[in-house]
Amino acid sequence: MNLIPLLKRCELFIGLEDSDFQEIANLPSWQKNTYDAGDFIFREGSVAREFYILDEGEISLTVASRKEKTKRLVQVPVDTVTKGDVFGWSALVAPHSRNMSAICIKRSTVIAVSGTELNELIDSNHSLGYEVMKSLLRVVAKRLRDLQDKLAGKRNLPLGKEMRPE
């Protein structure tokens, strides 16, 4: 599997040198998996062992919520992952526990790597590690802003407006 073109398109690896891409591609645990629509890649609360890049398809990141009347557990979409996006970054950050589920919206091809292996590379190559963690912070911050925008839109509250208790 030739990973370098995919890695170069990936938001997490922006700013890396060609030699860095080769080091990342040489990690032995890379796997390519295909999932059907409706399949869970991982579930909220599970141990985060792998980090993922979406090669093809579409994935919904969801959180579990109980319906008030029926008390039934439902998956509430929080974000959508599209081609080239990374997800499952909990594998890179302690406590390594999934805070969302990943469910395929349509048939999807996913590339996975061991979070432990990638973290070992990040720890041993400081310049690569700095760039990856800087990019990871950008990814997390963007997703948090997007989530804030969605929540504000659902509540009809423009961002920056103060909420007053009723």
> Does residue 48 form part of some domain?
yes
Which domain range does residue 111 map to?
4-154
Dihedral of CA atoms 135, 128, 45, 65 in degrees, nearest 10, equals 10
> Does residue 112 form part of some domain?
yes
Residues of the chain with confidence (pLDDT) below 50: 155-166
Number of domains the chain is built from: 1
Q: State yes or no: cis peptide before 77, omega within 30 of 0.
A: no
Whichever domain contains 103, its CATH number is: 2.60.120.10
Q: Decide: pTM greater than 0.95.
A: no
Q: What residues have CB less than 8 Å from 24, skipping those under 6 apart?
A: 3, 7, 13, 16, 118, 121, 128
pLDDT score for 15: 87
Q: How far, in Å, CA of 103 to CA of 43, rounded?
A: 8
> Does residue 160 form part of some domain?
no
> Does residue 159 form part of some domain?
no
pLDDT score for 94: 93
